[in-house]
Chain A
Amino acid sequence: MINRRGVLALTLAGTLALAACGGGEKAEGGGGPVKITVWSWKPASDGLAAVAKDFEQANPNIKVDVQVIGNPTIWEKITVGMAAGGKGLGDILHIGIDYLPSYVDKFPGGLADLRKLGADKYKDAFAKGLWPTVTGKDGGVYAMPWEVNPIGFFYRSDLFEKAGIDPAAIQTWDDAIEAGKKLKEKTGASLIGLNKPAAGSMDMDFYQSLLQQQGAFYFNQQGDVTLSSAPAVQAMTLIKKMNDAGIVADTSGEGTAKKLISSGKLAVLPWAAWAASYIPEMRPEQKGLWRVMQPPAVTPGGKRTAIVNSTHLAISGTSKHQAKAFKFIEYALTKPEVINKVFKEGGVFPALTAAYSDPMFSSPTEYYGGQPTLKTFVDSLNEGADATFYSSDYARALKIASDAQTQVLTKGADPAATLATAAQQLAQQTGRKLAG
């Protein structure tokens, strides 16, 4: 009985030991082309691999090896590599914004400061709200924005029609709740679905997007805890209102969400840009039924945009080929025609603003009844989303916020009181201050 479980303690201890020894790496000598390894995950990696070939042709002295590490495996591999002083890491690392600040803060030197390679000149090249998030507390630039996921509001136009709801009239989430009640009554469909007990995985994107629309998050830019702030309570109260109105379906359990979607029991998917290509793949038979618009605002006249998340390319601080690695990143991420090829092959929405002038961002999409889907997201980004400060303690905040949401959704807990306790716990666990 102990054998397998004992391994865990040992593995951890072993990793810690590795962390203790650390050390440098031998420089690569000799001639021949230099090999740059990129760690990424599918399908994004497909896009990068496609343009890597073009890059190699233009730069015969550099070989680019795009490795599919997989998500979430990549986080543990990067963590272990960094804890071991950078041993065994790829030269270029594909990192989500939710992990980036942790690596930057907890492993100083683990990622290269790209300012010295000339990253600064791209400061204004990417969608608003991204650059502050790749900038460390020391002003260093630790990654280049690749993918951005602005929030969307995918809805079943047939169900809306059946319930007699005009989506254009939905200006605030309160309007959406009223619409949700009508939808439930007329069509039996729930407005949205959430994994209420957070069984299997946490389901906090919706709550977070309600925060992000208000320019708020679990932390502010100074890194203080804002989990019990007015916007945080407001967002949780909205979710509670929806839940109490009986218009939030429980999507916990293997395949439950997919089943609800295919049987027309979910009228709205509050998903981000990645879903524009995912929904047609998942439900080809529902062609023509879906539309997308910007989500309603939390408060009347408030922002209808938010960047749900973003992913970036960083360079390992111990890489021996940082300049060449940056050359590839520059090639892949800052040229509209190249990043759009990455988009086509890998399906990740580009962060580069100049890319949006390509006709494909305004062309009608057949699946969405001829609606120019991508334009909704471009409009959203042009409206200008606020930066989200994940901080190095995001993982902990996410867990604590998820527990709070579960308590509100499954036990009917009071949002303000629950979040007050949660914020306190977060502050105690992280040694951070509660924002005043």
Chain B
Amino acid sequence: MTLTMTREAATEGGGSPRSHRPRLITKRNIPYLLILPALLGFVSFKAYPILAALYISLTTGAGAARTFVGLDNYVRLVNDPLFWTSLWNTALILVVQVPIMLLLALVLALGLNSPLLRLRGLWRLGVFMPSLTGLVAYGVMFSVILSKDSGLLNWLLGIFGIDAIDWLGSPFWARIAVVIALTWHYTGYNAVIYLAGLQSIPKELYEAAMVDGAGAARRFWSITVPQLRPILLLTVVLSTIGTLQLFDEPFVLTGGGPDNSTLTISLYLYENGFRYFDFGYAAAIAYALTLIVAGFGLLQLKLTGGKK
């Protein structure tokens, strides 16, 4: 391969003696030139920080006072009750939120895909909009909705005779509030992915099934679900990874409180890095989180049969 290419390049140059000078652009290196910008970006903004963070996780202090401490930060991590609290909170939110959100997204996608729906573009836009909302707008909006005394949600509940809920002040409800906000933010995103999946299912399958006399439920379970399987898997993995790194919602809504009931791993990482200036420890948390994310990803691929 290499030889052929070189010869080609040489012949291409024609008889001129100057063609022996190495040229910047040859057929062989064009692909590399094309990916060069992305490669440079990757090396400087991803690979380097990732490696630097690994080193930093083995140190303590900052700047001139940085000293190498080996695995001290990781030992500290294992013995840190707050880290385990944050892990537990994250797991709890994950287990409750991801299934609810994905189910809801699927229902929305089925609705949006229905030929009976009018103004489809508008509905789709509406469903997708929340995932475009900026962090600050989102935080302000939810603190207004969830306010204990003057919040929209408590007002609504009041109409049904339900007592005001202290959404952000009680450990239990604060977790629910995070789940609600998270679901609001990302359901549309997943619904759009499902919608794309639904639209790629060949119509012939449904027609054939109808000819065979299959009802709507039967068509859903025997055609839609199996056909969507790779997409379902994708969203489960993406959502799991996303929720494991949960930060925005507790950051803007609860600050991790009350009494650390919504402290997530990423929030704890942030606090250690930017509140406590404990960069080494923060980097160690980041690596622990990476391991957990990787572990979960692999496990899910295995369990759900990542094979083609």
- Which residues of A are at the interface with B, using a C-beta cutoff of 8 A? 1-2, 4-6, 8-10, 12-17, 19-20, 22, 76, 79, 82-83, 85, 102, 105-110, 196-201, 250, 252-256, 259, 392-393, 395-396, 399, 403, 406-407, 410, 425, 428-429
Contact = CB atoms under 8 A, between A and B. Distances in A.
B86 interface: no
Contacts of A395: 271, 275-277
Interface residues of B, number: 63
A234 to B, nearest CB: 23
A197 B255 contact: no
A428 B80 contact: yes
A109 B189 CA distance: 47
Contacts of A2: 238, 241-242, 245
A77 to B, nearest CB: 11
B174 A199 contact: yes
Nearest to A105: B65
Nearest to B61: A106
Chain A at the B interface: SS class: helix
B26 interface: no
Contacts of B62: 19, 82-83, 106-107
A425 B80 CA distance: 8
B89 interface: no
Given A8-B247, A13-B286, A259-B149, A82 B63 contact: yes
Kindly name the residue among B53, B248, B258 whose own CB sees the greatest number of chain A CB atoms within 10 A: B258
A376 B143 CA distance: 38
Contacts of B152: none
A339 B154 CA distance: 49
A83 B274 CA distance: 11
A147 to B, nearest CB: 22
Contact of A425 (B81, B169, B241, B289): B81
Given A79-B274, A107-B65, A395-B271, 18 more contacts: A5-B246, A9-B266, A13-B52, A16-B282, A76-B274, A102-B277, A106-B63, A197-B257, A198-B258, A199-B174, A199-B254, A200-B143, A200-B168, A254-B144, A254-B150, A256-B149, A259-B149, A396-B276
B60 to A, nearest CB: 9
- Of B81, B144, B248, B279, the most chain A CB neighbours within 10 A belong to B279
A393 B282 CA distance: 15
Interface in B61-94: 61-65, 76, 79-82
Contacts of A76: 274
Closest 7 CB pairs of A and B: A1-B242, A197-B258, A13-B49, A197-B169, A17-B52, A17-B49, A199-B168
Interface class of chain B by DSSP: helix
Contacts of A105: 65
Given A10-B49, A83-B279, A19 B259 contact: no
B258 A410 contact: yes
Interface string B156-190: 00000000001011100010000000000010011
B257 A14 contact: no
A336 B179 CA distance: 55
Contacts of B269: 9, 12
22 contacts: A1-B186, A1-B243, A5-B245, A6-B245, A8-B266, A8-B270, A9-B286, A12-B270, A16-B52, A16-B283, A82-B62, A107-B62, A109-B64, A198-B258, A253-B147, A254-B147, A399-B271, A399-B275, A403-B259, A406-B258, A406-B259, A428-B76
A16 B255 contact: no
Interface string B38-52: 000000011011101
A76 B279 CA distance: 13
B219 interface: no
A19 B46 contact: no
Contacts of A200: 143, 168, 254-255, 257
Nearest to B63: A107
A428 B80 CA distance: 8
Q: Which of B55, B143, B259 has the most CB of A within 10 A?
A: B259
B284 to A, nearest CB: 11
Contacts of A20: 52, 55-56
Given A1-B239, A17-B49, A253-B168, A199 B283 contact: no
A254 B79 CA distance: 36
Nearest to A6: B245
B227 interface: no
Contact of A13 (B53, B239, B255): B53
A15 B279 CA distance: 9
B170 A197 contact: yes
A198 B245 contact: no
Contacts of B260: 403
Contacts of B258: 197-199, 406, 410
A73 to B, nearest CB: 12
B197 interface: no
Contacts of B55: 20
Contact of A14 (B49, B61, B174, B259): B49
A12 B63 contact: no
Nearest to A259: B149
B63 A108 contact: yes
Contacts of A196: 169
B124 interface: no
Interface string B259-300: 110000010011101111101001100100100000000000
Contacts of A17: 48-49, 52-53
A12 B149 contact: no
Contacts of A109: 63-64
B49 to A, nearest CB: 3
B262 to A, nearest CB: 10
A2 B275 CA distance: 24
Contacts of B63: 19, 22, 82-83, 85, 106-110
B126 to A, nearest CB: 19
Contacts of A13: 49-50, 52-53, 283, 286
Given A1-B242, A198-B258, A199-B257, A16 B147 contact: no
B244 to A, nearest CB: 9
B276 A12 contact: no
Contacts of A259: 149
A68 to B, nearest CB: 19
A1 B240 CA distance: 9
Contacts of A22: 63
Nearest to B252: A200
Contacts of B275: 395-396, 399
Nearest to A250: B169
Contact of A252 (B144, B169, B242, B277): B169
Nearest to B182: A1
Nearest to B255: A200
B245 A108 contact: no
